[in-house]
């Protein structure tokens, strides 16, 4: 295509055809794609060009001339500033349709041989707000006042948030009280962890079924000033059962560092999913959406279709969330994860629920799987839940070679999933893709894919 003559600052009307993977509206100006934040499919908007690229344009919306029937007023007052939610301005039924379409589009782009009808409708929530059971807020100081919240999108400007409508209201209340106490005590804050000591993040998590709350103060040092007074006052906040100090002096973007100290209260809080109990450590992973976790684990269990005789390998098992559900109907489940702390949590949670046919080990998942097979543990079912980057070529080749009867792939990245599906369908057939909306108001979606082994030749 010949390059078009368009300049930054130019204005023109644009018809929005679809939503992109980041929730931005996508239209076409003289056949060149243009990305416009906040615009919705079916709308005609007046846009101004903000960036010209050889392959695409970027713009900002100045006015809506024709409005989408699916547009709603975003209930969050900082929606247009905060980067946490991307599609609050889209009705919830339309959000679910969008997420299903994003999966179909990824299949069409990377695995076109897989029929679109393999993608089931997204399982949504009756109440798609207040679902997050944990907040992780960076902090900064203005005078003596502690501010905590989220960064403005694409910037280092912190938005001080007193309420977030996707967070549980109880975690927000506790976080606000911790901010107030820290301000009164004039607690040190480390905006630059390489140059100063102090608090970097406030992490608050609630076990939704029990109401127990865990607070983690992330700081650069264990020698935090006035720590005893801070701990005593935080433990007086109603609902707080556990207070920990996590040490993280690295400048990396991750929140938690490698060392966690229990300062006061219990080392864990207890959550319930269906009839399973989970003790949550400060550093232990747990799904952010408690209600939809039950839906997700049930979808995994239904996909496995176990009869009681199968061996199951759960790769990237985390703290054993879905493994406990699978163990009820399997002969044996073995889980592996790269993180030692997660495996300790998994072993403890299996014992807590009196589940004796689960074995968890730390290590590289593929190495451990090959070791188990050499020992005579050949899995009938493999479940795998990798990072957003998806599976490595070695892992893809291994699954195609091992050919378990059933392979279940859990992903939250439609693009990397579709790329992996293109490789895995050499040995497997895709039975279905079941999306679960774990993150309403955002562009993220979780997917459970069931593969069945193709009939062996010869």
Annotated binding site for S-adenosyl-L-methionine: 287, 316, 385
Taking the C-alpha atoms of residue 122 and residue 100, their distance in angstroms, rounded to an integer, is: 6
SS3 call for 303: helix
Please, where are the H alpha helices in 309-437?
321-327, 340-352, 365-375, 393-402, 414-424
Taking the C-alpha atoms of residue 181 and residue 178, their distance in angstroms, rounded to an integer, is: 5
Taking the C-alpha atoms of residue 43 and residue 39, their distance in angstroms, rounded to an integer, is: 7
Annotated binding site: 287, 316, 385
Displacement of CA 112 from its chain's centroid (Å): 26
Residues 18-38 as b/e (b if ≥16 CB within 10 A, e otherwise) read ebeeebbbbbebeebebbbbb
Tokens at 245, concatenated? 């100090």
Count Cβ atoms within 10 A of the Cβ of residue 164 and give its class: 0-12 exposed, 13-18 middle, 19 or more buried: buried
Distances (CA, A) of 404 to 215, 334, 452: 42, 14, 8
């Amino acid at each position: 295509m010949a390059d078009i003559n368009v300049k930054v600052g130019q204005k023109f009307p644009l018809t929005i055809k679809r939503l992109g993977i980041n929730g931005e509206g996508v239209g076409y100006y003289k056949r060149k794609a243009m990305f416009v934040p906040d615009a919705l499919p079916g709308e005609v908007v007046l846009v101004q060009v903000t960036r010209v690229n050889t392959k695409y344009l970027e713009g900002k919306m100045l006015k809506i001339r024709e409005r989408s029937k699916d547009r709603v007023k975003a209930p969050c007052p900082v929606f247009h500033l905060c980067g946490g939610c991307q599609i609050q301005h889209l009705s919830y039924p339309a959000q679910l349709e969008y997420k299903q379409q994003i999966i179909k589009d990824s299949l069409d782009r990377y695995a076109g041989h897989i029929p679109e009808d393999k993608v089931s409708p997204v399982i949504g929530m009756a109440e798609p707000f207040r679902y997050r059971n944990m907040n992780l807020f960076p902090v900064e100081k203005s005078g003596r006042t502690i501010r905590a919240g989220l960064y403005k999108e694409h910037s280092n400007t912190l938005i001080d948030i007193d309420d977030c409508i996707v967070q549980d209201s109880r975690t927000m209340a506790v976080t606000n009280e911790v901010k107030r106490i820290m301000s009164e005590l004039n607690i040190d804050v480390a905006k630059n962890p390489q140059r100063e000591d102090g608090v970097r993040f406030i992490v608050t998590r609630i076990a939704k079924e029990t109401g127990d709350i865990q607070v983690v103060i992330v700081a650069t040092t264990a020698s935090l000033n006035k720590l005893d007074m801070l701990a005593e006052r935080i433990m007086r906040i109603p609902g707080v059962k556990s207070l920990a100090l996590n040490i993280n002096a690295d400048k990396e973007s991750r929140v938690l560092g490698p060392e966690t100290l229990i300062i006061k209260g219990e080392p864990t809080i207890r959550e319930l999913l269906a009839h399973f109990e989970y003790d949550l450590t400060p550093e232990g992973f747990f799904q952010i959406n408690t209600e939809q976790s039950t839906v997700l684990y049930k979808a995994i269990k239904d996909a496995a279709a176990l009869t009681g005789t199968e061996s199951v390998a759960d790769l990237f098992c985390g703290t054993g969330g879905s493994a406990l559900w699978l163990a009820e109907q399997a002969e044996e489940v073995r889980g592996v994860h790269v993180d030692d702390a997660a495996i300790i949590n998994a072993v403890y949670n299996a014992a807590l629920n009196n589940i004796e046919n689960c074995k968890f080990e730390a290590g590289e998942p593929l190495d451990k799987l090959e070791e188990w097979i050499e020992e005579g543990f050949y899995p009938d079912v493999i479940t795998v839940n990798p990072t957003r980057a998806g599976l490595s070529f070695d892992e893809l080749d291994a699954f195609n070679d091992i050919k378990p009867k059933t392979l279940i792939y859990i992903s939250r990245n439609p693009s990397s999933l579709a790329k992996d599906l293109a490789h895995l369908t050499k040995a497997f057939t895709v039975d279905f893709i079941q999306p679960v909306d774990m993150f309403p108001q955002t562009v993220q979606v979780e997917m459970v894919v069931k593969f069945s082994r193709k009939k062996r030749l010869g």
